Chain A
Amino acid sequence: MKNVKTLNKSTYAKKSLGAGCGECQASCQSACKTSCTVANQKCEKPNKK
């Protein structure tokens, strides 16, 4: 496209079909014990989506 460059190769709506396995880390355990954010967390099954 001439006017738009899309940065994702996929989107989380598409990736979430069949997901929700619950195996991923609790977000507050990783490096923020006083705030919350989820978008930086890793999926345990990135190749299965």
Chain B
Amino acid sequence: MVHTFTQGGHRIALDSASGAVHVLSELSYKILQYLKPPLSPRCPTSLRYNLAMYSADDINEAYGELYELYTEGMLFSEDVKIPNTTPDAKYIPIKSMCLHIAHDCNMICKYCFADTGDFKRKRSLMSLETAKKAIDFLLEKSAGIKNLELDFFGGEPLLNFDVVRETVKYGREREKEFGKNIRFTMTTNGTLLDDEKIDFINEHMSNVVLSIDGRKEVNDRIRTYMDGSGTYDDILPKYKKLVEKRTSGTYYVRGTYTRENLDFAKDVISLADAGFDQISVEPVVLPYSDPLSIRPEDLPRIFEEYDLLTEEMIKRYREGNAFNFFHFMVDLDAGPCVYKRMKGCGSGSEYVAVTPEGDVYPCHQFVEHTDYKLGSIFGGELDDARRSEFAGCNICTNPECEKCWAKYFCGGGCAANNYNFAKDIKVPYDIACQLERKRVECALTIKAAIAEMEE
């Protein structure tokens, strides 16, 4: 499957199965529109009629180059055949955990999927005993895997900072016994950051996600304290200090755009202008009945905004002040293998969420759906039939994904989003699919522009 598109004056072809990306001349781009595999070594005579404005020699030469890519497996290549796409989850190690250290929050963000922090339950903080048990559970369930992840999540994890600190200490002790390496990460709203917490995060968190929505007026309309006042002026200097003092590991300032700021490129740029160079801003996922929700009719406007952001990022790269946008990141040479691309996020199988009570769920977004509980860290069997259902839901088994040219970039999308819209983890949430395809095009356009600059 070959996807062709033009953006920013670049003509681009992506060979979906191999991941090869080609920037084409006008002639070869036109030729490609007429080709279907299998290709013949001889240039089809029909091309001369269809492209009569070009000389036969030019057409032959351009076709020959495309044919060479075809024989090298970089054009119209066949999908890699991966056996056993519906494995038994009993044999899948759990390597990644979202630890809900606090089902409580000091903010009431209007779009919060966690229902302002409590996940539609009693507000609670995880005990140290439970957090330690969660570490043990992760170490014991991750047979054969060395690198593990544990994300401190909420609610707001810094409401339970003492337990976070002791959990990290415990994890560092226990990982040695198992010969493993736990990478701790955290997602925070930033309001409770102080020098002590900043230093702790920078020392112990391999990645930290700092929530902020961009421009002050956009952030403060949505991301507020309990009394309705905005958080921007409090968190921005704290984030700046954290990033300035950070000497290792990664960070992202992360925002959410809604129907109220479809001009979200301004928010991304606002964060870049504030001095951040690692930025993630993504669409809200809410039912269409919610006034903040993204709806199908918003997509053309959103696509325009991604185009604007693409142009601005190319311009800044040229000027030497580039920044990184998470959803345009593509590593064409050292990215993940096909297996990773096939499995996606691994929710329910190799990735789970654990509540303050020690209950295990397929991911943080399933925690409010109690019928999806997989078990408990305190004992008993996990629901491996349910885990297998998640493991078996991937780009090789989903008919919608199988025919999508962007599947190896996307990994199959978000099971929670699918469930929330269709009550079926296998039915893709179409808005996310369309946005993912658009963002891949933008990412490849940036790659093409940079390659052109470097010529």
- Interface residue tally on B, bucketed by range: 35 or more
Q: Is B2 at the interface (CB under 8 A from chain A)?
A: no
Q: Is B387 at the interface (CB under 8 A from chain A)?
A: no
Please give, as numbers and ranges, the residues of chain B lying within 8 Å of A34 by CB-CB distance.
113, 256, 282, 284-285, 365, 414, 417
Q: Check if A7 sits within 8 Å of B447, measured CB to CB.
A: yes
B233 to chain A, nearest CB (A): 24
- Interface residue tally on A, bucketed by range: 35 or more
**Stretch of B33-41, B157-165, B236-244, B328-336 with 4 or more beta carbons under 8 angstroms from chain A:** B328-336
Bound complex: CA A37 to CA B408 (Å)? 9
Q: Is B198 at the interface (CB under 8 A from chain A)?
A: no
Bound complex: CA A41 to CA B111 (Å)? 27
Interface residues of B in 81-120 (CB under 8 A from A): 93, 95-96, 98, 113
Q: B-facing mask of A8-49, CB < 8 A → 1, else 0? A: 111111111001101111111111111111111111101001
Question: B66, B252, B365: which contacts A4 (Cβ < 8 A)?
Answer: B66
Q: Check if A39 sits within 8 Å of B408, measured CB to CB.
A: yes
Question: A1, A3, A42: which contacts B331 (Cβ < 8 A)?
Answer: A42
Q: Check if A31 sits within 8 Å of B145, measured CB to CB.
A: no
The answer to whether A7 and B327 touch (CB under 8 A), given A29-B98, A34-B113, A46-B334, is no
B434 to chain A, nearest CB (A): 13
A-B contact count (CB 8 A): 215
Q: Check if B22 sits within 8 Å of A13, measured CB to CB.
A: no
Question: A12, A22, A23: which contacts B338 (Cβ < 8 A)?
Answer: A12
**Stretch of B43-51, B259-267, B346-354 with 4 or more beta carbons under 8 angstroms from chain A:** B346-354
Q: Check if B451 sits within 8 Å of A35, measured CB to CB.
A: no
A-B contact list, 17 entries, CB within 8 Å = A4-B23, A5-B23, A7-B448, A12-B19, A20-B339, A22-B339, A26-B350, A30-B207, A30-B252, A31-B254, A34-B417, A35-B417, A38-B410, A39-B331, A44-B147, A46-B334, A49-B337
A→B interface (CB under 8 Å): 1-16, 19-20, 22-44, 46, 49
Sorted nearest first, the 8 A-B pairs with minimum C-beta distance are A40-B329, A38-B411, A20-B339, A19-B337, A26-B96, A31-B252, A39-B409, A3-B28
